[in-house]
Amino acid sequence: MSDDPRESSEEDVTPAGGGDSATVPPQSGPRQHAQAGPREPRGGPRDQYVLGVDVGTSTLRCHVYDKLANVKGSSSKKVHLLHPQPGWVEMDPEVLWTDFVDVVNEAIRAAGVTAGQVAGLGISTQRCTFTMWDRETGELYHNFLTWQDLRGSELVESWNNSLTMKAVHGGGSLLYLMSRSKRFLAANVLKFLPQQITMKVMWLLQNNLTLRRRAFNGLVSFGTIDTWLLWKLTGGQVYATDYSCASSTGLYDPYIRQWNKFFTNLLSIPISIFPPVEDTSKIHGVCETKWFGAPIPIASLVADQQAAMFGECCFDPGDVKCTMGTGSFMDINVGSTPHTSMAGLYPLIGWKIGDEIVFLAEGNASDTGTAIDWARSIGLFEDYAETAELAESVEDSSGVYFVPAFNGIQAPVNDPRACSLFLGLSSTTTKAHMLRALLESLVFRNKQLYETMLNETKIPITYIRADGGVSNNSFVMQLTADLLNRTITRPKHVDMSSLGAAFLAGLAVGMWKSKEELKGLQTSERVFQPRPVSEGVWEKYRHIVEQWERAVKRSLYWYPAKNE
């Protein structure tokens, strides 16, 4: 099992033991290695296998699962990011498409099966990464703008500080007092975020007059990665997204489950560009035979964090999962109504299956794996697998504190201008002290998110399951269990987004019959219990956490506002 804190980035191929879609015109017009392994007998029943593909930030991967959720074959490729200008982060759609088709075909071959034996395909994708294309010609107007792209950041800041938004907040407060509707309370605290699509779409419409003209004539299609892949796989015949992906964009209203007409009108974004929103688990369409050799049903579309939540079987209110990869995402199942947060937790739709709709509240810390990657790049360690041992080689951090804020600090602090910093360095500070301080800071951010979630939602926590590359670090996991005073389970299979997409697809095609059946397929690699009070872990860390919180305050508002 890898200790790389990011998604696995190496290219490999490994065999192992709602609504109606819109119809649009058809579209016009590093080598991998495979390892030998056991092969399943060919010619088995079609419902024997399901595919789970996860298009992550750093890795595109596909797993082939059997009925017991065992991985029978896998393939992965590194996601290629483009940086045409400072702050711009893009993906070439055609490169992504070629890699997508390749990893699916390679995974099927690695499993020793044929596409005809695959019951369904589930697709999990990074959120808020999108492109737009012409509905008549199928031509793309631009590359995928990823969630990391900052070209809309100046618009974000100017709009958040505008008199218009002050009026929106005031109107929301008044309407909430009159109606007690939490939808208006949410409007009272709403802020645009750089990672969401809103201001990037607005920027593109302002800077591409042809795109703007065609969009206002109803001739442009917007698509996050799931929508574009569905459109490509079906030969341009099916155009749709799902509730989880739509709710992550920032322009979809989870309270009334519609694209937000108020804000699209306010920002001059034609609402006609957005796709129909469908159930998460259903047969959305069928892949053209030419891609994989058989017409595989596309049976789930889901955003990556919601997919991980489903893969962790967090089906009931109070269930929590913490994904620690490039960033950390802590999600709690809040039941059948959205949670309105005053501290920066984001209300999301987890999934919709028939009449069932599940909402999540999510807090995130942007710099988890990125902080560990940075530490490696400056020579604090060489091998990810040695980080836990190095941190434990010293008794404490010797008064050193680290604030992980390369991309600001999110909930509950919510300061995009915060900076990363080390405090408390001395002539006796070693690499081990610095690394321990860095790993501890990731745990302290987990503690902040957990306590915010607990205090805001008032929902009793049932259990916590962790996944993602950083969850392989036993020092981080054990200290998180200690400081949260909660048992945390680490699953045997940590690619939860792929598994969640596969679970959702399997339900749609009847490979699995119920969520209870899925719970029976869960496997745990290790359970981290909080250490007894007699060991004095919290007493040791109480002062350390307080000092770290002082360090966080030192990091705030370091970078000037864009308009200063």
CATH of domain 12-148+197-321+347-353+496-519: 3.30.420.40
Average pLDDT score over residue span 36-47: 42
What is the C-alpha to C-alpha distance for residues 273 and 452, in angstroms, rounded to an integer? 36
User: pLDDT at position 46, please?
Assistant: 54
Check for a shared fold between 12-148+197-321+347-353+496-519 and 364-492+524-555: yes
DSSP for residue 398: T
- What are the sequence ranges of the domains in the chain? 12-148+197-321+347-353+496-519, 153-188, 364-492+524-555
Q: In whole angstroms, what separates CA 456 from the centre of its chain?
A: 22
Q: Which amino acid is at 78?
A: K
What is the C-alpha to C-alpha distance for residues 184 and 262, in angstroms, rounded to an integer? 12
Give the residue from 448, 226, 457, 224 showing the smallest Cα distance to 322.
448
476 confidence band (pLDDT: 50, 70, 90): very high
Are the CB atoms for 489 and 313 separated by under 8 Å?
no
DSSP, collapsed to helix, strand or coil, labels residue 234 as coil
CA distances, 261 to each of 172, 182, 238, 271, 504 (Å): 16, 18, 24, 7, 30
User: pLDDT at position 165, please?
Assistant: 83
Top pLDDT among 217 and 43 is at 217
Between the two ends of the chain, the Cα-to-Cα distance in Å is 47
Average pLDDT score over residue span 423-437: 98
Omega before residue 412 within 30° of 0, cis: yes
Average pLDDT score over residue span 64-71: 96
The answer to whether residue 19 scores a pLDDT higher than 80 is no
What is the C-alpha to C-alpha distance for residues 308 and 467, in angstroms, rounded to an integer? 8
DSSP for residue 306: H
Biggest alpha carbon–alpha carbon distance for the chain: 70
What is the C-alpha to C-alpha distance for residues 163 and 23, in angstroms, rounded to an integer? 41
Q: Which amino acid is at 438?
A: L
Average pLDDT score over residue span 377-388: 97
The architecture of the domain spanning 364-492+524-555 is 2-Layer Sandwich (3.30)
The answer to whether residue 295 scores a pLDDT higher than 50 is yes
Average pLDDT score over residue span 363-379: 95
Are the CB atoms for 63 and 51 separated by under 8 Å?
yes
Report the chain's C-alpha Rg in angstroms.
Answer: 23
The tens digit of pLDDT for each residue in 177-216 reads 788 777 777 777 778 888 899 999 999 999 999 999 999 9
List strand residue ranges (DSSP E) for 167-249, in order: 220-224, 241-242
